[in-house]
Chains A and B, each alone.
Chain A
Amino acid sequence: MISAVLPDRLPWYLAGPALGLLVVGFFMFTNQPLGATGAYVETAKAVRRIPGAVTWRAFYFVGIALGGFVAVMLKDDGFVRRKGYDVLLDPADMNLSLPVAAALIFVGAVVMGYGARMAGGCTSGHGICGTAQRSPASWVATISFMAAAVITTYFVNLI
């Protein structure tokens, strides 16, 4: 196994501007926001072969997973580092059973997907690309989801 190329966690002052440059670069190639919601929507359409689907968004969708895989592999313990949702199951932490954790995650994800489509974007689409376009709709959506998420997390922590 190759030793760590990437630190355990790339600090925000490097990751943030890097992400910002990717957003600008993506706009300068495709004239599109570097968002994820639209990628899910177009990938679902492409897989179902619905006419008018933006097929290249499916390549982008797969690219996100591939890039993530590469970065994880370049960390110290590489593929062993699959913590993901471990804190939910950890007896010393939230101590949920697997079915309960899966049900919770599933319901959360359905609400999240519904909300993202209704709002017209997610954390990347509205939260970064929309705000960077100086879109009033995106700034308001971002404030709304940040506030809702912080309040919800407060209640999750009470459980």
Chain B
Amino acid sequence: MNSATAHKIIGLLFGAGFGFVLAAANLHEYATIHNMLSLEEFDVFFLMGGAIGVSLPLLWLLERAKAKTVLAGTLTLSRSPVKRENVVGGALFGIGWAVSGTCPAPALVMLASGAGLAAVTIAGLFIGLGLRDAQTARSTGTAVTGDGEHRAMVASR
């Protein structure tokens, strides 16, 4: 199997696992996110904390051990310094998240669960992402990738 096919299969499987967990925990429903952000119910904060609590130490150990990933060389973690965009973009993201009551991955699950209005969210997300890309293309010509996004791999070792 070539690397491109392997990436597609792994992408599909891990995407499915991710969507499965989100749906199992009801993160695809407006009410869950709204109750979390109203500080009435802390389950989602604990869920995120649990995910970080498991992945942070494991990734730290694997990084120290210079672990080899299956498809893309030695494990490399990103640790970018803080920029103004992280603060301002984060705040805008938070406002939009609170209003639309779902974030990018759960919006996909919401649509898959049969809630048609989620298609509006997904369309809006594509438009918002595109607007920002168009803006950065005009000013600098290159889009910057943050630590949470897909990163271009520099010739993986």
Contact = CB atoms under 8 A, between A and B. Distances in A.
A101 B101 CA distance: 11
A90 to B, nearest CB: 10
A28 to B, nearest CB: 5
Interface in B5-39: 7-26, 28-31, 34, 37-39
Nearest to A22: B17
B69 to A, nearest CB: 4
Contacts of A55: 4, 8
Contacts of A104: 99-100
A109 B39 contact: no
A119 B89 contact: yes
User: Mostly helix, strand, loop or mixed at chain A's interface?
Assistant: helix
Contacts of A87: 30-31, 34
Interface in A98-115: 101-102, 104-115
Nearest to B32: A9
Interface string B47-74: 1111111111011101000010111110
B11 A20 contact: no
Contacts of B118: 84-85
A131 B79 CA distance: 9
B54 A16 contact: yes
Interface size class of A (residues with CB under 8 A): 35 or more
Contacts of B37: 149-150, 152-153
User: Mostly helix, strand, loop or mixed at chain B's interface?
Assistant: helix
A117 B19 contact: no
A41 B129 contact: yes
Given A16-B47, A119-B146, A114 B128 contact: yes
A101 B99 CA distance: 10
Interface in B72-131: 72-73, 75-83, 85-101, 103-105, 107-118, 120-131
Contact of B86 (A27, A144, A157): A144
A10 B39 CA distance: 20
B108 A68 contact: yes
A113 B90 contact: no
Contacts of A106: 120-121, 123-124
5 contacts: A30-B70, A71-B23, A109-B120, A135-B147, A144-B94
Interface of B: 4, 7-26, 28-31, 34, 37-39, 43-44, 46-56, 58-60, 62, 67, 69-73, 75-83, 85-101, 103-105, 107-118, 120-133, 143-151, 153, 156
Given A23-B51, A55-B4, A130-B147, 8 more contacts: A40-B104, A66-B19, A85-B110, A87-B30, A108-B101, A110-B131, A120-B144, A130-B78
